[in-house]
Amino acid sequence: MKKIVRLTEGDLIRLVKRVINEEFNLDEQLRPLSRGIVPLVKTGLKALEGQRLSPEALNSPKGQWTKKVAGFFNKYYRINLPLDGNWMNPDFRETKARYLKEKGLPVYVCKKGDGYCNDAYAGEVTTKEDKKYYEVLKQDMSKLGIR
Q: Write the pLDDT tens digit of every residue in 26-38.
A: 444 444 433 333 4
Quick check: 23 and 31 in contact, CB under 8 A? no
Predicted pLDDT of residue 51: 59
Whole-angstrom distance between the N-terminal and C-terminal Cα of the chain? 68
Which amino acid is it at 42? K
**Per-residue pLDDT, 8:** 83
Q: Which of the residues in the chain have pLDDT under 50?
A: 26-50
| Helix, strand, coil fractions of the chain, as percent rounded to 5 | 55, 5, 40
